[in-house]
Amino acid sequence: MADLRTNFAGITSPNPFWLASAPPTDKEYNVRRAFEAGWGGVVWKTLGEDPPVVNLSSRYGALAFGGQRLMGLNNIELISDRPLATNIAEIKRVKRDFPDRALIVSLMVPCEEHRWKAILPLIEETGADGIELNFGCPHGMSERNMGSAVGQVPEYVEMVTRWCKQNTRMPVIVKLTPNVTNILMPARAARRGGADAVSLINTIQSVIGVDLDAMAPMPVVGGKGTHGGYCGPAIKPVALRMIGEIARDSEMVGTPISGMGGISNWHDAAEFLAMGSNALQVCTAAMHYGFRIVEDMIDGLSNWMDTKGYATLPDLSGRAVSRFVPWNQLNMNFRTLAHIDQKSCVGCGLCHIACEDTSHQAIAKQTGPKGRQYSVIDDECVGCNLCAHVCPVDNCITMVPQPVESEMTWLEHPANTHRLNA
Determine the angle formed by the axes of helices 84-97 and 113-124, rounding to 10 degrees.
40
Distance CA 70, CA 64 (A): 5
Measure Cα distances from 146 to 44, 152, 237 in Å.
18, 10, 26
Asked if residue 352 lies in contact with residue 376, where contact means CB atoms within 8 angstroms, the answer is: no
Out of 111, 137, 384, 396, the active site residue is 137
381 is catalytic: no
Bond prior to 314 in cis (omega within 30° of 0): no
Hey, what amino acid is at 67?
G
Helix/strand/coil for 73: strand
Whether the CA torsion 211, 139, 45, 79 is positive or negative: it is: negative
Q: Are strands 397-401 and 60-65 parallel, antiparallel or unpaired?
A: unpaired
| CA angle (366 as vertex; 363, 371 as ends), nearest 5 | 125
Instruction: Give me the half-sphere count of Cα atoms (radius 13 Å) on the Cβ side of residue 267.
Output: 1
**Cα distance from N-terminal residue to C-terminal residue, the chain:** 53
Whether the CA torsion 336, 338, 343, 345 is positive or negative: it is: positive
Q: Are strands 204-206 and 228-231 parallel, antiparallel or unpaired?
A: antiparallel
Distance CA 357, CA 236 (A): 29
Asked if residue 266 lies in contact with residue 301, where contact means CB atoms within 8 angstroms, the answer is: yes
Asked if residue 363 lies in contact with residue 385, where contact means CB atoms within 8 angstroms, the answer is: no
Whether the CA torsion 412, 414, 417, 422 is positive or negative: it is: positive
243, 420, 263, 395: which is closest to 328 by C-alpha?
Answer: 420
Distance CA 272, CA 278 (A): 9
**E strand residue ranges, 29-94:** 41-47, 60-65, 68-75
Measure Cα distances from 40 to 4, 21, 280, 289, 368 in Å.
10, 14, 10, 17, 56
Catalytic residues: 137
